[in-house]
Structure 1
Amino acid sequence: MIDVIDFGLTRDGEKVQLYTLRNKNGLTAKITNYGGILTSLTLPLAKEIREIVLGFDSLEEYTNDNYLSNYPYFGALIGRYGNRINKGLVCLDDKEIQLPCNHGEHHLHGGNIGFDRKVWTAEIINNKDLKLTYLSVDGEENFPGNLNTEVIYKLTDENELQIHYKAVTDKTTPINLTQHSYFNLSNNFESILNHKLQVNTAYILETNDLLIPSGKLYNISKTLFDFQTKKTIERDIEDIENYDDCYAFGESTETPRKVAELSDKDGIVRMEVATTFPGLQVYTGKYITAGKFGPFSGVALEAQGYPDAPNHKNFKHGWLKPGEIYQHQTNYKLIF
């Protein structure tokens, strides 16, 4: 069953709703059609109802200038292109397309006003799933083509929050959709450094200091970036300072496969991440300053395509052509 309440008005006066999904086990997910934001995900533990994502209780908290000035994209759907594009430039049919450079000299998460700040059209399916749709028109943020995007949120009785992505276009366009929730599985939001993380790959994308990929994969086995064997996030954080890396799994898959697992300090709550995407951006949140949330208060596990993929032919994705269907799925399974 899905409950709907008003969540406020945008600065342009658009009405926004908040949708509450529940499963038979008592899990609750709250999603607003502003940015497709997952505002809350709670678990019914023996002694408490535990909130495990960073989020706010009002639309104003997501839209005020203070929040946007150091914008962490809490819980939002990201598009047209998640992560970074080098200097905002892509080349299509021997012509350069200049996308907005909203992160220093580079393009980040769809530009100045990406999918994360749009009001999506919402539809409740079978009284249990939430379908969000958005038409990104030709030329929006200088992206070519009319892109019809559909995202379905499902909260299953197997305690999985599933996110199903689908998109079609009438012109070839760069695309990389993702979901930008920050997770904290403990019973407070002080720090995720004591969380244990496992990521099932020996490779990350090689990047420069501004996190722009070189096009090469870097073998991280037995390095500080290696999470193939589960370890605490804090174990090597003093030397790393902050993880913000795209872990690489090779090709996309037709069905989700497990790529990562996160658990709280005491192992009371675990979360498995499964996805069809080829990459997982792990960001440990050193630069979070938003309301009551500070540095390392959450970790983002963003299943996605590779950053800057349109500029690297060997990445073999990053573009969507007319007649093709962009389709991916990510599952966050809670075990407690």
Structure 2
Amino acid sequence: MTKEASPYQILTLTNSNGMKMTVTNLGARVMTLLVPDKDGKLLDVVLGFDTPAEYLTSPEPFFGTAVGRYGNRIAKGKFELDGQSYSLALNNGANSLHGGPGGFHNVIWNVEEADDSHIVFTYLSKDGEEGFPGNLNVKMTYFLTDENEFKITYEAETDKATPINLTHHSFFNLNGEGSGDVLGQELQLMADQFTPVDSTLIPLGENVPVAGTPFDFTESKPIGKDINQENEQLKFGGGFDHNWVLNKKEQGALELAAVAYSPASGIEMEVYTTEPGIQFYAGNFLDGTAKGKGGKAYEYRSAFCLETQHFPDSPNQPNFPSTILRPGEKYEQTCIYKFDTK
């Protein structure tokens, strides 16, 4: 485990199969994730930068980061809770995205403990931070297991009712970061429904069947197969940038949510979650302006994100599963990205 000069630390996790992950305390970001391909060669499958400071000036602020206090969008940055109105910092047009400009992606997390196989991060999000109510104590643990799993456990407690929706925002390319677009990589989502959005990517409040639409990933297919179809929802997102409603056998259980696969590298990534939803984003806003590791330009659709989550704008959507945490309750979620080859 190595550390950089304050305030930024870089920590390294390894496992017995040669996997290696580097993480910085700035946003609890995953900077590199080295995974063996079908020939045993290690590929770095996440986009990012060579140094922590570069993340602060990136045109894409969410590479590899922890996201909170509320992952995804809240309409107009406003919600009501227990009869009180709250206004959040806006950073996505008229909406609040991923906790606002000063969200968990831009804070220094406390490294509570660390060794070669796990890191425990903690952070106190104070009452009023980015407009959210309550002092929120967050504990987040990253594991790199000998089963080739990058596992994240989330815990949080509050002293005042607050919305919470934590997630992880690695940008994946299973051919290796900076290696071109991901349109030939394949994806399966364990979801028969998705949540359509308006032109600002706020959900309309209903779940719609994916059958017969470009949003049907119930069988594995190339990401690029239907991404350019004439479709109002694809137009709004510039491609796929939506929440899928997972087919949960048991609410809150850790279940398979997605499988991504690269025929070129042979790397397969399974995603497991306790959450009810997953946001699939196909890198539609990447445009080459972000120069990543080794100066590589991150071009259009050169990565995808699979963010396990509760649904966007849930504080304003009474039909969606609640994201409100109250004093005396404990927020607990788990997400696993598991790697293999075939």
Is TM > 0.5 for Structure 1 vs Structure 2?
yes
Q: Could you tell me which of 187, 190, 196 is aligned with 1:197? A: 187
Q: Distance in 2 between matches of 1:20 and 1:174?
A: 32
Q: Contact conserved, 1:189 with 1:298, CA < 8 A, in 2?
A: no
Residue 112 of structure 1 pairs with residue 117 of structure 2: no
Instruction: Please name the residue that 2:294 is paired with.
Output: none
Q: Contact conserved, 2:252 with 2:275, CA < 8 A, in 1?
A: no
SS of the residue 1:189 aligns to: coil
Instruction: Please name the residue that 1:259 is paired with.
Output: 257
How does the TM-score come out when normalised to structure 1?
A: 0.93
1:214-293 maps to which residues of 2 (within 5 A)?
214-239=204-229, 240=234, 241-249=238-246, 253-266=251-264, 268-288=266-286, 289-291=289-291, 292-293=297-298
Q: Could you tell me which of 22, 25, 33 is aligned with 1:41? A: 33
- Which whole-Å deviations, capped at 9, do the CAs of 1:230-269 have from their partners, x for residues lacking one? 1001111222451001001266744310010000133611
> CA 1:312/1:116 → structure 2, altered by over 3 Å: closer, same or farther?
same
Q: Distance in 2 between matches of 1:94 and 1:236?
A: 44
Q: Could you tell me which of 76, 80, 94 is aligned with 1:91? A: 80
- Counterpart residue type for residue 169 of structure 1: T
Q: Distance in 2 between matches of 1:330 and 1:224?
A: 26
RMSD value, Cα: 1.6
How does the TM-score come out when normalised to structure 2?
A: 0.91
- Which whole-Å deviations, capped at 9, do the CAs of 1:133-177 have from their partners, x for residues lacking one? 000011111111000001100011111100100100000011110
Q: Distance in 2 between matches of 1:102 and 1:125?
A: 33
- Which whole-Å deviations, capped at 9, do the CAs of 1:73-106 have from their partners, x for residues lacking one? 0000011011000111110122211111211111
- Which whole-Å deviations, capped at 9, do the CAs of 1:264-303 have from their partners, x for residues lacking one? 1336110000000111000000111411212111100000
SS of the residue 1:215 aligns to: coil
- Which whole-Å deviations, capped at 9, do the CAs of 1:6-61 have from their partners, x for residues lacking one? 0x5xxxxx511111100111111111111000111002343522111111110221
Q: Contact conserved, 1:77 with 1:180, CA < 8 A, in 2?
A: yes
Q: Contact conserved, 1:310 with 1:318, CA < 8 A, in 2?
A: yes
Deviation at 1:72, TM superposition (A): 4.2
Could you tell me which runs of 5 or more consecutive residues in structure 2 were left unpaired when the two chains were aligned: 292-296
Instruction: Please name the residue that 2:154 is paired with.
Output: 165
Instruction: Please name the residue that 1:51 is paired with.
Output: 44
Give the structure with the higher percent strand. 1
SS of the residue 1:207 aligns to: coil
Instruction: Please name the residue that 2:167 is paired with.
Output: 178
Paired residues, number:
324
